[in-house]
A = this chain, B = another copy of it.
Amino acid sequence: MSAMSVDDIDTPAPVVDLDRVERNLKRAADYFHEKKIALRPHIKTHKIVEFSRRQVELGAVGITCQKLGEAEVMADGGISDILMTFPIVGEPKLKRLMALAKRIRMSAVTDSTEVADAMARAASEAGVRIELLVECDTGTGRCGVQSADEAVALAERIANTRGVSFGGLMVYPEKGKVARTRAWIAEALAALKRSGLEAKTVSVGGTPDMYHAHELEFSTEHRPGTYIYSDRAITAAGVGTLDDTALRVVATVVSRPAEDRAIIDAGSKTLTSDLLGFPDHGVILEYPKARIVRLNEEHGIVNLAESPEKPRIGERVTIVPNHACVVSNLFDSVYGVSDGRVVREIPVAARGLVR
């Protein structure tokens, strides 16, 4: 495979530039090292064992997983410290979490007494102790306690229950709302302190604001995910440029039915329908003024009206997707390339493990 060029890969294909991956990982590792904030990458973006290992080699304290299936694959791959940032609900998942906790350091999050109490029971029965972070909703409108008072009440309950320990706070803040996040968390930390509780960890997430992590002076840990690959949304948020995007989709023009229309072999089963606020479905690097205006499952419909150059049938194009994480989740493997050569095919070992 070492002699294979990117041009020899059949399409549509996810191609990961390993040099860009390394650059993106190092840039982040250097920043968090300098700012003395622990780095705990979210591996939902790549779901690849060797990349998790590399993140730890470069200084990450451990990784973040959203799903137990991901955590099991990464534990098997040698990762020894995993934070689960999705609420673990139900006996089958609690059993699997406890089995992992006997092998490696596992911690988890909660925004409810239901989840905290069930976790405590399962941990007690298994003879382990799970550190729980209280998830805070500082405005994202997803999971999380809604106020400092709720955070304190839940933290107290955790601190007083066998099988679990209170580790601190966890937040996935809304992009660009650093000031609001700071005010919310500062209030919760003060309230915890008044109650005699210490938040050893304040874990913050997200790639878009990752290089502002130090502006949240109480941050002890950050959980960026997409930074390893970057994508159109991340560059639009001001982190890096299109040249830093490491995951790209190579596609072929299969039809030119009209002067201003091309059809490519990458549709929603390759690029996904995630718009992430964009009016179209990714950037075609060779034809930046061509617009992927619509996706069917296997067809990408490209409007060439604004593009002075028009591709011919059979031509290959390179697409930066809007959202890398959901694209990589569609493929059993990605092609790792360096200097335009295919170095190896890399299994996306935790792909599709939604349970």
> In the complex the two chains form, what is the Cα distance from A111 to B314 in whole Å?
13
Whether A112 contacts B354 by the Cβ 8 Å rule is no
Whether B297 contacts A254 by the Cβ 8 Å rule is no
Binary interface encoding of chain A residues 109-139 relative to chain B, with 1 for a CB under 8 A from any of its CBs, else 0: 0011011000000000000000000000100
Partner of A298, one of B86, B144, B146: B86
Interface set, chain A 263-306, CB cutoff 8 A to B: 263, 265, 268-270, 272-275, 294, 296-299, 301
A181 within 8 A of B: no
Interface set, chain A 33-58, CB cutoff 8 A to B: 44
Whether B146 contacts A258 by the Cβ 8 Å rule is yes
A177 within 8 A of B: no
Whether A352 contacts B326 by the Cβ 8 Å rule is no
Measured between beta carbons, the chain B residues less than 8 angstroms from A93 are 10
Q: Which residue of B lies closest to A298 (CB)?
A: B66
Whether B263 contacts A143 by the Cβ 8 Å rule is yes
A90 within 8 A of B: yes
Partner of A254, one of B89, B313, B329: B89
Interface set, chain A 306-334, CB cutoff 8 A to B: 312-314, 325-326, 329-332
A175 within 8 A of B: no
Whether A352 contacts B330 by the Cβ 8 Å rule is yes
Binary interface encoding of chain A residues 89-106 relative to chain B, with 1 for a CB under 8 A from any of its CBs, else 0: 110110000000000000
Whether A114 contacts B272 by the Cβ 8 Å rule is no
Partner of A10, one of B90, B265, B270, B298: B90
Partner of A143, one of B254, B332, B354: B254
A355 within 8 A of B: yes
A255 within 8 A of B: yes
Partner of A90, one of B11, B90, B92, B115: B11
Measured between beta carbons, the chain B residues less than 8 angstroms from A331 are 352, 354
The residue among A89, A257, A331, A355 with the most chain B CB atoms within 10 A of its own CB is A257
Q: How far is the CB of A300 from chain B (nearest CB, A)?
A: 10
Q: How far is the CB of A342 from chain B (nearest CB, A)?
A: 14
Whether B90 contacts A143 by the Cβ 8 Å rule is no
- The 29 sampled A-B contact pairs (Cβ below 8 Å) are A12-B354, A12-B355, A13-B355, A66-B298, A67-B298, A86-B298, A89-B254, A89-B313, A89-B314, A90-B252, A112-B256, A114-B314, A115-B254, A141-B261, A142-B301, A143-B257, A144-B257, A146-B258, A268-B272, A269-B329, A272-B272, A273-B274, A297-B325, A297-B326, A297-B329, A298-B354, A330-B330, A330-B354, A332-B352
Give chain A's interface residues, CB within 8 Å of chain B. 10-13, 44, 66-67, 86-87, 89-90, 92-93, 111-112, 114-115, 137, 141-146, 252-258, 261, 263, 265, 268-270, 272-275, 294, 296-299, 301, 312-314, 325-326, 329-332, 352, 354-355
